[in-house]
């Protein structure tokens, strides 16, 4: 009787999962699904309670965003595989800042997969060592699987879900990483440029601008999970503190940067502005004793408040005295404030915004970084122009007071012009000399790459050319063929006819090989002694074998006449063709071709053998 009740309970649980879960039908033609339909419960249930729960709330074509009201939620999704074979898919939770995501895959009322990932767990826990939250699933053929996800996060619960095929996700991720890398690299380069300019000019606003840009860069890195992945994969707790820190530090640094760029105007808000900024600075070091949720709320709201105050004070100064640096700083502050408003809306779930809105996020960081860089550089140019104008005024006054000084200045100017003319003349002569040296170097390099006997490339050139062709083969995924050729019984020719005839034989072989290479990228080189090597990029094995056979036949038919005696000779060839995989081991290609050549020698000579060798 007890067994019967257990069977009935299992049937009830399985049918409840299948009937209430949101159904998603997949086949091999479905490349991706974003904002998939699902059901959720915003309660901290156990797995057993979630399995038996009936109060599931359906959501379709939306993102689950419970704001700061909940820290734990359960999601249920039903996925049907229409194919007759297993269907591998990837489930993506498109929020890399979630603390913990527990995934249970059910099939036939049994858990077939359980995984836990999140930025509160070490990176090694993830199936795919990636900044995104990805789960690889395998759907049994012609059946329905149910997914239960337990999502936990103290900093607002937002869980955009999507399903991908692996190839399609790689394409998407490649495009994303390209845009993201360009943006992050550009912001970092702007920050480093500001620090370099500070090193040259000793202007502190360059340091402050570089610091703001650097915190923006760190904020961008951590928002998309790259900080967790690359900086501290074994210390996930730092991820919880990094984003609030960057928000507060960025807002704090706007005030000293503004002080460097503003005029001498005093406003009633200056004291309040200063005290608020000091409060932000102090709070950076003391809020870490608070719970994570309180830290998030404080950092978001206080950052938005202080940015609004920054904007107000900047506007007051612009009304008093308009300047391009302050206008650019205002644009950067407004854009950053808009970003904070967007983040607050997403975190507190005020409106239903898509937290994956890349154009807005990327555009905000780009415009803010450009505005800050323009503000500091423009301020530097204005200061420089003012200094130049002041210097010109002093020079004009000195010229009016002392004519003798004017004449001396003219003499100095003439001397400077003469010096510049001499420098230009010497520079021209130096350029001519350098050009001649370059031509000589090219000639020496050409001689260094050619074999003096055969006038074809030598072993040194071949080694470099092989590495370049291996890189091209791996990059373009095209086959690279290599032919090793050796003159049969060459020692007998030297012994019987002398070394001069041996040299003539080597030159004849080189000429015949060159005559059979028609494409510009095909290359022949003397490998050593009576050995030659031919490189054939983008050539399949049959084509390489055909060329090697033609060379063999042509050499077999060639005749060298010496003292009324006709000398005939043959060659053996080894061929290897493949798409390069390891460019750090170029000797692999030559070793394979050499093995084939050795086999040709051992099996009678005057043959063409390919590797791998077929008996």
Tell me whether residue 530 is one of the annotated catalytic residues.
yes
Q: Is pLDDT at 9 greater than 70 in this prediction?
A: no
Rounded Cα–Cα distance for residues 332 and 327 (Å): 9
Among residues of the chain, what percentage have pLDDT more than 90?
A: 29
Closest CA to 531 of 600, 471, 585, 584: 600
Rounded Cα–Cα distance for residues 163 and 118 (Å): 18
Q: What is the pLDDT of residue 615?
A: 61
Rounded Cα–Cα distance for residues 260 and 262 (Å): 6
Strand partners, 114: 104
Rounded Cα–Cα distance for residues 228 and 236 (Å): 7
326 and 374 Cβ atoms separated by less than 8 Å: no
Q: What is the pLDDT of residue 409?
A: 83
What is the average per-residue pLDDT within 271-291?
85
Q: Based on DSSP, count helices (H) and strands (E) in the chain, helices before strands.
A: 16, 20
| 526: three-class secondary structure by DSSP | strand
- Please tell me which of 99-108, 216-225, 386-395, 472-481 the model is most confident about, judged by mean pLDDT: 472-481
Q: What is the pLDDT of residue 2?
A: 42
What is the average per-residue pLDDT within 252-271?
82
Q: What is the pLDDT of residue 483?
A: 96
Give the residue carrying structure tokens 């170097």: 441
What is the average per-residue pLDDT within 68-95?
85
Look over the chain and give the mean of its residue pLDDT values, rounded to a whole number.
85
Among residues of the chain, what percentage have pLDDT more than 70?
A: 92
Q: What is the pLDDT of residue 336?
A: 93
Q: What is the pLDDT of residue 5?
A: 38
Give the residue carrying structure tokens 């998603």: 24
What is the average per-residue pLDDT within 10-39?
66
Q: What is the pLDDT of residue 555?
A: 93
Ordered by where they begin, the domains of the chain are 2-164 (2.60.40.2380), 180-385 (1.20.1070), 459-611 (3.30.70.270)
Q: Which helix or strand (DSSP H or E) is residue 409 part of?
A: helix 403-449
Q: What is the pLDDT of residue 69?
A: 67
What is the average per-residue pLDDT within 499-516?
91
Terminal Cα-to-Cα distance of the chain (whole angstroms): 70
Per annotation, catalytic residue among 83, 530, 531, 581: 530
265 and 321 Cβ atoms separated by less than 8 Å: yes
Chain centroid to CA 82? 36
Rounded Cα–Cα distance for residues 103 and 90 (Å): 12
Residue 171 structure tokens: 């394409």
What is the average per-residue pLDDT within 188-193?
93
Q: Is pLDDT at 17 greater than 60 in this prediction?
A: no
Residue 56 structure tokens: 């599931």
pLDDT grade for 16, boundaries at 50, 70 and 90: very low
């Amino acid at each position: 009787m007890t067994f019967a009740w257990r069977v009935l309970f299992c049937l009830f649980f399985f049918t409840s999962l299948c009937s209430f879960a949101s159904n998603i039908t997949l086949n091999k033609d479905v490349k991706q699904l974003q904002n998939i339909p699902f059901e959720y419960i915003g309660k901290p249930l156990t797995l057993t309670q979630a399995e038996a729960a009936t109060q599931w709330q359906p959501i379709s074509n939306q993102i689950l965003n419970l704001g700061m009201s909940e820290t734990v939620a359960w999601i249920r999704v039903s996925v049907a595989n229409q194919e007759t074979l297993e269907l591998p898919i990837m489930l993506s939770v498109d929020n890399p800042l979630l603390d913990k995501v527990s995934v249970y895959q059910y099939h036939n009322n049994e858990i077939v997969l359980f995984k836990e990932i999140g930025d509160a767990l070490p990176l090694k826990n993830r199936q795919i060592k990636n900044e995104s939250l990805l789960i690889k699933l395998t759907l049994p053929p012609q059946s329905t699987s149910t997914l239960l996800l337990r999502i936990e996060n103290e900093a607002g619960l937002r869980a955009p879900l999507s399903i991908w095929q692996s190839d399609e996700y790689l394409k998407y991720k490649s495009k994303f990483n390209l845009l993201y890398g360009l943006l992050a690299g550009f912001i970092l380069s702007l920050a480093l440029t500001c620090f370099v300019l500070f090193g040259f000019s000793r202007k502190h606003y360059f340091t402050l601008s570089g610091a703001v840009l650097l915190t923006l860069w760190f904020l961008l890195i951590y928002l998309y999970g790259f900080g967790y992945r690359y900086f501290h994969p074994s210390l996930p707790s730092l991820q919880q503190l990094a984003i609030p820190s960057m928000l507060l530090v960025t807002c704090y640094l706007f005030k000293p940067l503004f002080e460097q760029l503003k005029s001498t105007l005093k406003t009633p808000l200056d004291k309040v502005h200063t005290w608020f900024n000091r409060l932000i600075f102090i709070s950076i070091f003391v809020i870490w004793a608070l719970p994570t949720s309180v830290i998030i709320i404080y950092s978001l709201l206080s950052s938005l408040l202080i940015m609004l105050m920054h904007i107000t004070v900047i506007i007051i100064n612009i009304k008093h005295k308009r300047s391009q640096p302050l206008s650019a700083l205002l644009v950067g502050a407004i854009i950053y404030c808009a970003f904070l408003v967007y983040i607050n809306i997403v975190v507190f779930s005020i409106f239903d915004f898509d937290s994956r809105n890349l154009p807005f996020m990327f555009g905000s960081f780009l415009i803010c970084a450009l505005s800050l860089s323009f503000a500091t550089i423009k301020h530097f140019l204005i200061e420089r122009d003012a200094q130049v104008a002041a210097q010109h005024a002093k020079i004009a006054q000195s010229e009016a007071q002392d004519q003798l000084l004017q004449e001396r200045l003219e003499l100095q100017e003439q001397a400077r012009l003469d010096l510049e003319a001499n420098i230009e003349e010497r520079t021209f002569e130096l350029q001519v000399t350098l050009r001649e040296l370059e031509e000589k170097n090219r000639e020496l390099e050409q001689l260094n790459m050619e074999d003096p006997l055969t006038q074809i490339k030598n072993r040194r050139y071949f080694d470099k050319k092989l590495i370049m062709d291996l890189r091209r083969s791996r990059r373009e995924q095209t086959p690279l063929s290599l032919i090793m050729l050796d003159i049969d019984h060459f020692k007998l020719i030297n012994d019987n006819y002398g070394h001069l005839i041996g040299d003539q034989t080597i030159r004849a072989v080189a000429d015949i090989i060159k005559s059979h290479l028609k494409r510009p990228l095909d290359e022949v080189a003397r490998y050593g002694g009576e050995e030659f090597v031919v490189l054939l990029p983008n050539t399949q094995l049959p084509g390489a074998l055909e060329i090697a056979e033609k060379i063999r036949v042509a050499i077999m038919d060639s005749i060298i006449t010496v003292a009324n005696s006709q000398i005939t000779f043959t060659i053996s060839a080894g061929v290897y063709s493949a798409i390069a995989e390891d460019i750090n081991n170029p000797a692999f290609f030559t070793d394979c071709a050499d093995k084939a050549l050795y086999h040709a020698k051992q099996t009678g000579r005057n043959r063409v053998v390919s590797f791998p060798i077929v008996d």
